[in-house]
Amino acid sequence: MLESSAQAPKKYETGEIKNRDKNKLFHSDRQFHDWYRFVLSFPPQLVRDYFLRFELEKGKVVLDPFCGTGTTLVEAKFAGFQGLGFEANHFAQFASETKLDWSIDGAEFLDAARTIRQTALEELARLEISDDGGNESVTRKKLRRLDNERQKLLLKDSISELPLHKSLVLLEEIRRHQNTGLYKSLALALANVVVFKSSNLRFGPEVGIGKVKDDAPVIGPWFEQVQRMNHDLLSISGHSFPAARVIRGDSRQINKRLKPKSVDAVITSPPYPNEKDYTRTTRLESVLLDLVRTKDELRTMKKGLLRSNTRGVYKEDDDDRYVQNVFKVQRLADEIEERRISLGKTSGFERMYAKVTKLYFGGMARHFEEMKPYLSKNARLAYVVGDQASYLQVMIRTGHILGEIAESLGYVDINIVPFRTRFSTATKSNLNEEVVTFRWPGSNKREKNRK
């Protein structure tokens, strides 16, 4: 039976980590995680706490079916577990896969970066452009640009002309290593710098445009990032770690991608039903690295994502059929629709709020069902989720609903553990984030009884 629990992991329970710091990446955790990380990624210390709670032994298989930029998988590798992830966002899959490749030769990596830096700076100098600024008199017509189709995919003013030119010059030199094992790490360092230092993007928590910078350095910060990455590689030199891999794929369609009964633990954080288009968060770096080049490619990628916002709903979507008999989901959708009508909201997006809610929970039900054949007996699962009020301020108790869906599908020991509270810009109030934990007993007794 579903019940809430106050038995949070020790650090959170004792207040050792304050609420405002619970989602932060501490300096001691920056190794590999800091190669690239979503602003709202869940923290490494939370993953480690659940490794302890689940009493996992070395060599066990840990799965993150919504792996994002690889927090769970990096920690699994450090802890001696085999890591496996699924991710449908092309750049996030690229980032997590790159962060898990610790086989790179550090000296070769740094030597290549020095050569790239020198050549890129020489190319900038050819147009009398300095990486450090002072480029007011540069002839803008000579600057490199994205083609029109890729430019249209970006948020307007994502990056100014000069930093974009510098990024494209640097990327051209990095691509000379495209057929080597160094390319992905060199390119990921560029993505990190472009997004967090050279662009006009701001994250708070939605991605948007902040103060527009006419110019910003790119090559210098990129080389500094490479040096930090090289330091991480040197720190693990001579040590061996289990393999880890990330499959680009839909977490609702993992059939035949795993060995039956092979997964011992799942630690993950799926998207929340919050009207947030997660592809916007990685749009600049996805386009820059040619991971998404056209609207059709973007649409195809979106179709592989769990439905959590109205911008990612398509005519053929039918995940809602998985929760047509789940009373709480149906009642929640009805409440959202009733609120919409009472408020006189008539836009196309607002008319889909009830639909996307059912698609979200239906997609998660489909995912839970899809997982069962691949979980070992007594496999433990932890899903970090948050309450939401994005749809006309109707409260969605995400964790409680997911817990009931899991229970209806044969999972047992459903528990909800508090993680933190976060401020909602929609309701101007604090909302709960929780970890829903449960166990797969090895067979579905209800199905057996029906047979």
Residue 77: strand, helix, or coil: helix
pLDDT of 57 reads 93
Q: Between 276 and 13, where is the model more confident?
A: 276
> Tokens 């006419």 correspond to what residue?
214
Residue 20: strand, helix, or coil: helix
396 near 357, Cβ under 8 Å? yes
- For the entire predicted model, the pTM comes to 0.92
- Tokens (6 digits) for 124: 């900038």
Mean pLDDT value of segment 146-156:
96
**Quick one: how far is CA 308 from the chain centroid?**
14
Mean pLDDT value of segment 91-106:
95
> Using only C-alpha atoms, what is the Rg of the chain?
23
424 near 386, Cβ under 8 Å? no
Tell me the domains of the chain and their CATH numbers: 3-102+241-274+309-450 (3.40.50.150), 106-235 (no CATH)
> Tokens 């909602």 correspond to what residue?
424
Task: Say which residues have a Cβ less than 8 Å from residue 100's Cβ, sequence separation at least 6.
Answer: 70, 73, 74, 77, 83, 244, 245, 246
Residue 85: strand, helix, or coil: strand
Which residues are 226's β-sheet partners? none
pLDDT of 8 reads 40
Task: Summarize pLDDT for 227-253 with one digit per residue, the tens.
Answer: 999 999 999 988 999 989 999 999 999
Task: Summarize pLDDT for 279-330 with one digit per residue, the tens.
Answer: 999 999 999 999 999 999 999 999 999 999 999 999 999 999 999 999 999 9
- Tokens (6 digits) for 100: 């898990």
90 near 68, Cβ under 8 Å? no
Q: Are strands 61-64 and 3-4 parallel, antiparallel or unpaired?
A: unpaired
Task: Summarize pLDDT for 189-226 with one digit per residue, the tens.
Answer: 999 999 999 999 998 767 899 999 999 999 999 999 99
pLDDT of 137 reads 85
Identify which of 327, 330, 338, 385 has the alpha carbon closest to the alpha carbon of residue 358: 330
Mean pLDDT of the chain: 91
Among 15-24, 277-286, 323-332, 373-382, whose mean pLDDT is lowest? 15-24
pLDDT of 1 reads 37
Q: For 315-318, which contacts have Cβ atoms below 8 Å and span 24 or more sequence positions?
A: 317/359
φ, ψ of residue 58 to 5 degrees: the values are -55, 145
Report the C-alpha gap between 380 and 412 in whole angstroms: 10
271 near 205, Cβ under 8 Å? no
> Is residue 446 pLDDT above 60, yes or no?
no
Mean pLDDT value of segment 111-126:
97
Task: Say which residues have a Cβ less than 8 Å from residue 227's Cβ, sequence separation at least 6.
Answer: 110, 113
Alpha-helix residue ranges (DSSP H) falling in 40-146: 44-53, 71-79, 90-99, 106-126
Report the C-alpha gap between 31 and 235 in whole angstroms: 9
